[in-house]
Homo-oligomer: A and B are copies of this chain.
Amino acid sequence: MEKPDTGKYALHAKILKALAHPTRLFLVDALGKKEHCVCELTEMVGADTSTVSRHLSLLKNAGIVGIEKRGTNVYYALKIPCALNFLRCSREVMEASLAEQIKAIRKQ
C-alpha cells in the first residue's frame, strides 16, 4: 500500500478538491448540459463576475473544463464528460452518508 502524499493520492485529492465547492459543482452541472459564457454563468450563480471567473479558472486548471473565445465572450465547456458520471456516483455516497448520519442522530 502506497503512502499518502505520493503522486497517486495527491493527484486524486487535487481533482476532488477542484470539485468540492457548491458553486463549482453547480458550474459543472450547468456545463454538462451545454456550454456557457462567463456572463451567463455569473447570472445563474448570482455572485460577482470575478468570483465566478476564478471558480472557472480553477476548474480549467484541473483540466475539467475548457474554453473557446468568441468575440468578447469566453465560452466554457465540460472537457471531461465522465465527470458527470462521477458526480452521479458520488451523489450515491452523499445519500448513503446522509442516511448514516440520520441513523446516528436517532441513536443519541
Residues of A2-50 whose CB lies within 8 A of B: 2-6, 9-13, 15-17, 19-27, 29-30, 44-46
Whether A82 sits at the interface, judged by CB under 8 Å, is yes
Whether A25 touches B12, Cβ cut-off 8 Å, given contacts A20-B20, A85-B89, A89-B85, is: yes
Whether A83 sits at the interface, judged by CB under 8 Å, is yes
Q: How far is the CA of A25 from the CA of B10 in the complex (A)?
A: 9
Shortest CB-to-CB span from A105 to chain B, Å, is 10
Whether A90 sits at the interface, judged by CB under 8 Å, is yes
Cβ-closest chain B residue relative to A27: B4
Whether A101 touches B44, Cβ cut-off 8 Å, given contacts A9-B26, A89-B85, A91-B12, is: no
Most buried by B among A23, A66, A98: A23
Residues of A77-108 whose CB lies within 8 A of B: 79-80, 82-83, 85-87, 89-94, 96-98, 100-101, 104
Q: What residues make up the interface of A, taking CB atoms closer than 8 Å to B?
A: 1-6, 9-13, 15-17, 19-27, 29-30, 44-46, 62-64, 66, 79-80, 82-83, 85-87, 89-94, 96-98, 100-101, 104
